[in-house]
Amino acid sequence: MKITSLALAFALFAGSTACVAERALAPQAVASSPVSQLVAPATQVPLLFVVDGVRYEKDQVPTLTAEQISAITVLKGTAALRRYGQDAAYGVVIITTKAAAQRS
């Protein structure tokens, strides 16, 4: 599953200059997705996604609409490594849904 309504947010993240250096470290083939259609990089890094505290690989992220999302945070570098460990070596996209935000 993919987050289709967040393609622009991920495109901005994937297109940032900080990610260019990360992409060069461990390139992987780009799959056909809304993000890859907006951004045309030759490679893509294995980001970690955390939705309401649950870790997901890119291809396992539940489908969410913009109306369901409260906040999106991107962590990179040592902050991501300290908080999420080696799985976050290339960055973390943290998504908080409105339902989880209301519970806190």
Residue pointed to by tokens 């999302």: 69
Residue pointed to by tokens 């300290």: 82
Q: How far is CA 52 from the centre of its chain?
A: 13
| CA 44/CA 70 separation, integer angstroms | 26
Contact 69, 95 (CB under 8 A): yes
Confidence of residue 18 (pLDDT cuts 50, 70, 90): very low
Q: Which of residues 36 and 95 earns the better pLDDT score?
A: 95
Query: Which range, 16-25, 36-45, 86-95, is most confident?
Result: 86-95
Helices (H), 15-71: 17-25, 34-38
pLDDT of amino acid 102 = 87
**Judging by DSSP bridges, how do beta strands 48-51 and 69-75 pair with one another?**
unpaired
Each residue's pLDDT tens digit, 36-64 = 444 445 457 788 999 999 999 888 999 99
Label residue 68 exposed, middle or buried (CB < 10 Å: 0-12, 13-18, 19+): middle
Confidence of residue 103 (pLDDT cuts 50, 70, 90): confident
Helix (H, G, I), strand (E, B) or coil at 33: coil
